[in-house]
Amino acid sequence: MKAESRTPLDHDQATTIVLQAISAVAPDVEDELPDLDHTIDFFEEFELDSMDHANVMTRLWETTGISIPEREYPSMRSVNTLAAYLEAESTSAGKDNE
């Protein structure tokens, strides 16, 4: 069975999707997102809890169709890490369908 067809994401697109997911889950931090260092742990920076973390992951899946395994959650705490994961997965899914 072939993987679901996805349009590959570039890093900027993936970053935008991650920032939108954070904003949707924690709208009170939206004004701080433009100045956020994309390499830091944004959950710690914004004092988000484990439910917020799970909700961001769910939002990313709903938006992209890319599921991030729970075992990966501990390492998925910066915008850059999440964006890189989405970019890589979207690209590999596209190659699977060629």
pLDDT tens per residue, range 79-97: 999 999 999 999 885 454 4
Domain 11-25+38-96, what architecture?
Orthogonal Bundle (1.10)
- Rounded (10°) CA dihedral 90, 92, 3, 73: -60
pLDDT tens per residue, range 4-40: 556 899 999 999 999 999 999 999 999 999 999 999 9
Mean of the per-residue pLDDT values of the chain: 90
pLDDT tens per residue, range 32-45: 999 999 999 999 99
Distance CA 58, CA 27 (A): 16
Q: How far is CA 6 from the centre of its chain?
A: 15
**DSSP 8-state secondary structure symbol assigned to residue 72:** G
pTM of the model as a whole: 0.86
